[in-house]
Chain A
C-alpha cells in the first residue's frame, strides 16, 4: 500500500544546472532558443542576408512586446545590413558589436542561459553562423505608463508627480532631485521566475553602511519564484513579522523619497511598483507628511500634533465609549449621562455589540468602496449614509451617539499619512473594544501598556522603533514631535546616521535678528 517512501511535492527546484555554451552552428542555436522558449509565438527570428557580406548567415532574435521594434530597425538591422565585414574572419564580431550596432549598450553572450535571459530582458540577440558568441543589444521597451500625479499621497503645495512602474524611470526621478555623487544604487535580481529588478538607493556619506550591508544580505537571501509588488520585499526583509505595526514606510512621491535619503534612510525600489520602500523608520515617521516641509512651520506643527491625536482617537474612541457607558458612567457629567442614557433607551444590544456591529459595517462599506466598480460608486454612499446611518437610528437598532463615535473614528483613521499605520490602528481598535467590553478602562489600559511594551521592543533595521523618545535622542526628539523652522532643523532624523548627523550649521539667518 503505502510502504513506499512518500515522495510528495519536493518543492520547486532551483532552475540551475550546468551552464552550457552556445554552439557555433546557427541552426542548432536557433533550435535551442526556440525550444527553451517553448515555441512561443511572440518569439521573433529574422534572418539577415546582405549583399555586402555574401555567405554570412546572420539572425536577429527578440521577443515581441518587450522590445522597441523601431530601435531594432534603426540601430541594429540598418547598420548591419549596410556594413561589410572586413576580410579575415578572426574578430569581426567584436567590431560589429562595438562599431556597427548603435544601441545604448551591447554585450557579448556565450552561454545558453545568458542568451535566453537577455531575450527575456527585452534585448535583441544577433547570432552568426560559425561564431560561438552572440551579441545582445539593449532594445528593451514596450508600453508604459507615464509619470503622473500622485494618487494616494497628494499635497496642495509641492511637487505634483509620482513614481511609475518602471524602475529606471524612478531612479531617474530620484537622481534628478538628489544630484550628488554620493547617490548610490545597488541592483539585485530577485525572483526565480519573474527576475524582478530591485534597487537599493542610499547616500554614501549619510547612511550607515553597516545597515546597508545588512539590508543587502537580506535582499540577496530572498528565494521565491516571483516578486510582484514591493510588499513582498518588505515582508521578507523587515525585522519582525508578528506585529501590527509596519517597520518600513512606502511612498509614491520622489520628493518624499529624497527627504528620506537625506535623513539617512535607504530607499528600495522594485520594478513594477510605483511605491518606494524606506527604512529604517521609527513609529513617529509615520505621522510626517510631505507637505509638512512645504508649509509654514506653525501650521505644520499644529497639523502634526493633530495627526497624533487623530491616531489615538481612531484607536481608542470606540473602546473608551464602550468602557465609559458600560462601566464608568460616573465619569460623565450628569446632563451628558442623561442624554446618552435616553438615547440608548430602546437599543436591544449592549454597547459592545452595538459598537462592534457599527464598526464592522463601516469596514464592509470601506472595503466595498475600494472594490466596487467606479460606476456604482454613488450607490454606496447612499446606502452607507442614509440606510445604515439614519435608518438604523430611526429603527432603534443603534443610538445616534454610537453613529457619531463610529463616524469620527473612521474619519480620524484617514488622517494618518501612511496607510500601513492607519491599518494597524484599525486592527488594534477591535482588540481594544473587546478588552473595554470585558474590563472597562482597566482593559484599555492593559491593552495600551501591552502595545507600548511591544512597540518599544520593536526595531527597524536596528533602530529602536520609539527612537527619539525611548531611548531619548537629545538632538532630534523635538524635530520629530513638531516641525521646527527650517534653519533650526540641524540634525538628520534617523538615529543610525551617526556618520554625518548634521544637515546644516544651524544658525538663525542673520537678517532675521532683532
Chain B
C-alpha cells in the first residue's frame, strides 16, 4: 500500500488549500476588512475540519467510500460516494476551466482553449495514474518553489513601498464581516479540506494526522490572511473587488532596478502550480471515491475519470455560464457534502461504526 509521510501531508494540505485561492480576493463583501473575514471564515472552517478529523479517527484505515458505507450501509453508502465523486469531479473541472481562462487571459490570447484543457487534464491524469505517493512527492517539490516565490513577491512589494496599511481601516462592523465569511469563505477554500477524508487513509503515522492537519490549517490560514491583507492594502477595496485576478494586478505594479517588471507572467506560473495541485488532488479523490464502487482497475478508472472531466468542460458554453453554475449549483452541493452529510454521520451512532470498523479489521486479519 502506498504511504505518505507527515511532512508530505502537511505540505499537501497547505498547497491544496492555497491551490486556486490566490485567483480571488475573498471576502470583498466586508470591503476593507476582507482579511478579518478571511480569519473568521477560517475559524468557522476549523470546526468543519475538526468534524472531518473526528470522522477519520473512527476508522483511520478506511477510505471515504468505506466510511460512507460504514455509516449508511452498503447501497446508500455507495450511492453517496458516487454522488460525492460527482461533486469532487465538478470541482476538479472547475480547475480545468481556471487553467484555460487564466492562460487565455495572461499568457496566450490566441491558443485554443481545448488544447490548454487537454494539457491540464493529461498532466493530472499522468499524476493520478502514478498514485498518491507520487502526487504528494510532486507537491513536496513544488512547495519550496511556491513558498520562496510568494515570499520574494512580498519582499518586492515592500521594496516598492506599495502596501498602504491605512487602506485596511476603518472597521466595517462585525456582522458585515461574519456575513462575508460565512458561509462563503468557510466553504471555499477552507471547507474543501473534506477531500482529505479520502487521502488521510494513506498517512503512515495515524497518530500524527490530527496534529499535522491542524498545523497545516493554521499555516495556510496565516498565509491566506496575510496575502489577502497585502492585496487589500495595495489595491484598496474598490480595485480588489473590481479586477479579475487581483494578485496579478498587484504584481504588475512591481518595478525594480529598471528591468524587473511584468512579473505577472511568473506569478501566472505559480498559479498554475496551485491549480495543478488542486486539480490533481480533487481528481485523485474522485478516483478514490469511485474505484471501490466500480471495482475496476486503478488505471482504467483514472483514464475514465480524466476523459469525463475533459469532456465535461465542453458542456458549459463559456466561462460566464461556468461561473454562474459554480455559484448557483455547486454551492448547495458543497453544503450537502461538506456539512450536512458529515453532520449526519457524526450523529449516527459512533459506537456502532467503531464496532463495525473493528469487525472489518479483524475479518481482514483472519483472512
Measured CB to CB, the residues of A under 8 A from B are 327-328, 330-331, 333, 336, 439-442, 445-446, 449-450, 452-454, 456-457, 464, 466, 469-472
Contact = CB atoms under 8 A, between A and B. Distances in A.
A466 B265 contact: no
**Most chain B Cβ neighbours within 10 Å, of A333, A457, A466, A470:** A470
Interface of B: 5, 7-8, 103, 107-108, 111, 115-116, 119, 123, 126-127, 130, 134, 137-138, 140-142, 144, 258-259, 261-262, 265, 269, 272-273, 276
Contacts of B138: 452-453, 456, 470
A469 B123 contact: no
B123 A446 contact: yes
Contact of A439 (B8, B111, B123): B111
19 contacts: A327-B107, A440-B107, A440-B108, A442-B111, A442-B272, A446-B123, A449-B272, A452-B142, A453-B134, A456-B141, A457-B130, A457-B134, A464-B137, A469-B141, A470-B137, A470-B140, A471-B7, A471-B8, A472-B8
B140 A331 contact: no
Given A442-B108, A449-B123, 10 more contacts: A327-B107, A439-B111, A441-B265, A446-B119, A449-B272, A452-B138, A456-B137, A466-B141, A470-B137, A472-B5
Most buried by A among B7, B116, B127, B144: B127
B126 to A, nearest CB: 6
A328 B108 CA distance: 9
Given A450-B123, A452-B142, A471 B137 contact: yes
A439 B141 contact: no
Contact of A441 (B107, B126, B142): B107
B108 A333 contact: no
Contacts of A470: 137-138, 140-141
Contacts of B123: 446, 449-450, 453
A218 B258 CA distance: 58
Contact of B5 (A327, A440, A457, A471): A471
Contacts of A454: 126
Contacts of B130: 453, 456-457
Contacts of A442: 103, 107-108, 111, 116, 119, 272
A253 to B, nearest CB: 30
Contacts of A472: 5, 7-8, 140
A445 B276 CA distance: 11
Nearest to B272: A445
A450 B107 contact: no
Contacts of B141: 452, 456, 466, 469-470
A464 B144 CA distance: 18
Given A333-B261, A469-B141, A450 B7 contact: no
Contacts of B108: 327, 439-440, 442
Contacts of A330: 262
Contacts of A452: 138, 141-142
Contacts of A469: 140-141, 144
A480 to B, nearest CB: 13
B137 A445 contact: no
A336 to B, nearest CB: 8
Contacts of B111: 439, 442
A371 B266 CA distance: 42
Contacts of B258: 333
Contacts of A327: 107-108
Q: Which of A454, A466, A471 has the most CB of B within 10 A?
A: A471
A328 B107 CA distance: 7
